[in-house]
Amino acid sequence: MRQFLVIGHDAPTTPDFALDDLAGAAGRLDLLCRCVNSAVFLSHGIREDVRVHLVLADEFTVRFEGGELRHLHPDERNIAARVRGALEERDGAIGHMPADVSPGVELYRMGVAETLETAASEGTVVQLHEDGDPLVDAEPPADPIFVLSDHHDFSNAEADLLAEAAERRVRVGPELLHADHAITVAHNWLDTDGYTSY
Amino acid sequence: MRQFLVIGHDAPTTPDFALDDLAGAAGRLDLLCRCVNSAVFLSHGIREDVRVHLVLADEFTVRFEGGELRHLHPDERNIAARVRGALEERDGAIGHMPADVSPGVELYRMGVAETLETAASEGTVVQLHEDGDPLVDAEPPADPIFVLSDHHDFSNAEADLLAEAAERRVRVGPELLHADHAITVAHNWLDTDGYTSY
């Protein structure tokens, strides 16, 4: 399984945001939605073996399970509506028990540390880092977990957590990419690895 | 220069569409907007040496010039507003004379064939094709022009035009990707080519 954990520092934790202003009042939820898009969508289908964790302001995590999603569309507004629907169930998320929202979408009352720990128990944390190995030279692990940040850098505390959890460091390229673009490049790395004539 | 030509078969040609329903009534303009995003945005800046041509229903083309864009945000809604603003100037686009819309954005009264011909005069047309060479084995040309389609396949006429114009065929991977994701992978190919330790 491929997992992507995306930290939304300014993301909403209540459902009272408008779908018309994702990039403003909703704390750059547009970017988080594009991360879900990049993680789960193929041209004519869904990547079944993908899990995305959107961490909202270190308080809640919305989990998208590729293989179980139904009727999700790739536009920001549709994905944001799922996040909003998840937050409408926030009172149902207690401890490690998620609130069930819609097929393939769950809401957890978990911040960065707990979500990272949960994800890391099922794979190898790969840090995208400017000092990491170039992707082209690196061998991907079987069950990678990529951790990304929104438009803000990782906080010091997040960077420390990540350095502790990460078993690998790779670099996607000489340019610094948005999180959603980095997810696409990571998928392509995994898709093409080992193929000499795909 | 890197150029991306994206064909929007169902895209609007008049400005009377709502920004609240890009994926529906606006003919999958959401996807075209994400293509602009993937083509021009870096994490903290713009790719200066990029030109994007969005061909709208074979009638108009909105051209985005990376190095001249001002105040463009990466969310679908903001980019769609630029497309709508361009279409508000549609009466000013006459023959090959564009209507000036905003810095870095122009509207041409040109369909697929004319736009492809114009773009191709400044570089090498690269076709993304399932029978092409795997990217990892291919050497990118200096001034590539990538031609992509929205959620529909190329029409027969478009495929013929493209086969005629294309000097190269490459394949991004074993999975079929959305156009915006393919653009991200193409950029990464160009970004990392020739770097042994980027």
Mutation site for A-interface testing, chosen from B21, B178, B197 by largest number of A Cβ within 10 Å: B178
Measuring CA to CA, which residue among B173, B195, B194 is closest to residue B184?
Answer: B173
Give the integer Cα–Cα distance in Å for A121 and B110. Answer: 54
Q: At what angle do helices A179-192 and B179-192 cross, to 10 degrees?
A: 80
Q: What is the mean pLDDT of chain A?
A: 94
pLDDT digits (tens, 9 = 90+) for B168-183: 999 998 899 999 999 9
* Kind of pairing between the strands at A2-8 and A144-149: parallel
Residue A131 confidence (pLDDT) above 90: no
- Which DSSP symbol is given to A153? P
Q: CA of A193: how far to CAs of A1, A128, B9, in Å?
A: 15, 17, 33
Output A132 or B198, whichever has higher pLDDT. A132
Measuring CA to CA, which residue among A65, A60, A3, A69 is closest to residue A29?
Answer: A60
Residue B198 confidence (pLDDT) above 50: no
pLDDT digits (tens, 9 = 90+) for B93-131: 998 899 989 999 999 999 999 999 999 999 999 998 888
pLDDT digits (tens, 9 = 90+) for A95-109: 889 998 999 999 999
Residues of B with CB under 8 A from a CB of A: 19-20, 22-23, 30-31, 34, 37-38, 41-44, 73-78, 134-136, 171-178, 181, 184-185, 187-188, 191-192, 195-198
Measuring CA to CA, which residue among B63, B72, B50, B162 is closest to residue B109?
Answer: B63
Q: CA of A143: how far to CAs of A35, A38, A45, A138, B119, in Å?
A: 19, 18, 21, 15, 42
User: For residues A168 and A125, is the Cβ–Cβ distance under 8 A?
Assistant: yes
In the structure encoding, which two tokens stand for residue A151, read together?
Answer: 């438009």
Average pLDDT over residues B7-24: 97
Amino acid identity at A135: L
In the structure encoding, which two tokens stand for residue B198, read together?
Answer: 């980027």
Give the integer Cα–Cα distance in Å for A1 and A145. Answer: 9
User: For residues A62 and A8, is the Cβ–Cβ distance under 8 A?
Assistant: no
Contacts of A188 in chain B (CB under 8 A): 172-173, 177, 185, 188
Residue A168 C-alpha from the chain's centroid: 18
The model's confidence at residue B195, banded by pLDDT at 50, 70 and 90, is low
- Which candidate from A20, A43, A181 shows the least CB-CB separation from B178? A43
Backbone angles phi, psi at B7, to 5 degrees: -95, 115
With 0-12 / 13-18 / 19 or more C-beta atoms within 10 angstroms meaning exposed / middle / buried, residue A42 is middle
pLDDT at A128: 87
Contacts of B184 in chain A (CB under 8 A): 38, 177, 181, 184-185
Average pLDDT over residues A42-64: 97
Query: How big is chain B, counted in residues?
Result: 198
Residue A134 confidence (pLDDT) above 90: no
Give the integer Cα–Cα distance in Å for B33 and B36. Answer: 5
* Kind of pairing between the strands at B2-8 and B144-149: parallel
pLDDT digits (tens, 9 = 90+) for B139-153: 899 999 999 999 999
pLDDT digits (tens, 9 = 90+) for B23-59: 999 999 999 999 999 999 999 899 999 999 999 999 9
pLDDT at B10: 97
- Which candidate from B76, B77, B174 shows the least CB-CB separation from A195? B174
pLDDT at A65: 98
Task: Give chain B as a DSSP string.
Answer: -EEEEEEETT--SSS---TT-TTTTTSSHHHHHHHHHHHHEETTEE-TTEEEEEEETTTEEEEEEGGG--S--SSHHHHHHHHHHHHTTGGG-BTTBPEEEETTEEEE---HHHHHHHHHTTSEEEEEEEEEEEGGGPPPPSSEEEEEESSSPPPHHHHHHHHHH-SEEEE--SS---HHHHHHHHHHHHHHTT-S--
Give the integer Cα–Cα distance in Å for B37 and B75. Answer: 8
Measuring CA to CA, which residue among A66, A119, A110, A76 is closest to residue A90?
Answer: A110
pLDDT at A135: 85
Residue B108 C-alpha from the chain's centroid: 14
Give the integer Cα–Cα distance in Å for B113 and A168. Answer: 47
**Which secondary structure element, helix H or strand E, spans residue A128, and what is its range?**
strand A124-134
Quickly count helices (H) and strands (E) in chain A.
5, 10
In the structure encoding, which two tokens stand for residue A67, read together?
Answer: 């293989």
- Which candidate from B34, B76, B192 shows the least CB-CB separation from A173? B192
The number of beta carbons lying within 10 Å of the beta carbon of residue A13 is: 15
pLDDT at A198: 47
The model's confidence at residue A7, banded by pLDDT at 50, 70 and 90, is very high
Distance from CA of A165 to the nearest CA of B (A): 24
